[in-house]
Amino acid sequence: MHRIVESLIVCVLVLTLAVPAFAGHHDQGPAKQAIVLAAFGTSYPEALKSILNIRTRIEKAHPGTLVRLAFTSGIIRNIWKERRDDAAWQKANPGVPEDVLFVKSPLATLADLSDAGYKDVTVQSLHVFSGEEFADLKNTLIGLRSIRTVKAKSLPFTAMRLGRPALGMPGDAHPYTEDIAAAAQALKADVDEAGKMDAALVYMGHGNDFYSTGIYAEFQREMQNRHDYPVYVACVEGYPAFDDMLALLKQSGKKNVLLKPFMIVAGDHASNDMAGDEDDAWKVLLAKEGFTVKTDLRGLGMVDAWADIYVRHLDDALAQTHLLP
């Protein structure tokens, strides 16, 4: 009897969450669909190319479906907000898409879509791993999905899905180790480039001070095992830190280093903390240790094989029978 009651409760919960993707309780046809690409964002116009490349590939994969950009970083959004009224800046930086100049948070973007009648929405994270920004994004969607209205047609959304970051997320639906393996394969060209230079390949990741960044160490291990080459990853925040990477780099026997950002865009961290000329820039620190360093200011979003990771993760999200992972 106890098991029967438990089964009934589970069924009720599933039926409550799995609302069909229709505009209301009357037969009004399929709900309007939209895709939201949620990136941390960047204030560097040149670095925008990485995000726009991902968007272009997703638009090609889903022609006819509305695609919107959203930035999860409030600091980045405020910078773009100031530039909206700066005619001189816009004249000096032509070509910035209007949806970047007027970029909004995921919450505001979803509200706009709801107002425009889009009730079936899939949000694809453009983050590297499931850290703080992704957690906030997921919790925002869970909050919106919990809204209940007297009439079904008044629900802001009838279907809402979330695509996982590049290096995956906890859960058994899509093992994160498989995502790490796919990410390592996507960057094979970096290893080949470093090999031609007889250089160790070093990535600067962003990391996070509030979430475990051990996945960067797992990615490093996968790169080394898969490509049989000295590849090292360190973070601006969290583990592995620069000193952790440096100790391993010294053991590699390599005198040359190819230094690249392990970030979607090559923005402030890549331009200054990695490739800058200040004493604490990684390029300078490595040079002081006797290494010959070449930097490459190319965001991961410019690598088509990496951009296609998000295309596949979006497809996985669209195929979900449940609404949120």
- Kindly state the helix (H) or strand (E) to which residue 260 belongs, with its residue range: strand 256-262
CA distance 229 to 298: 21
User: CA torsion 11→14→20→26, rounded to 10°?
Assistant: 50
313 is a catalytic site residue: no
CA distance 269 to 276: 9
What SS3 state is found at 204? strand
Q: Residue 325: which of 314, 310, 21 has the closest Cα? A: 314
Catalytic residue among 127, 206, 269, 313: 206
What SS3 state is found at 169? coil
CA distance 165 to 77: 21
CA distance 145 to 13: 13
CA distance 145 to 159: 8
List active site positions. Answer: 206
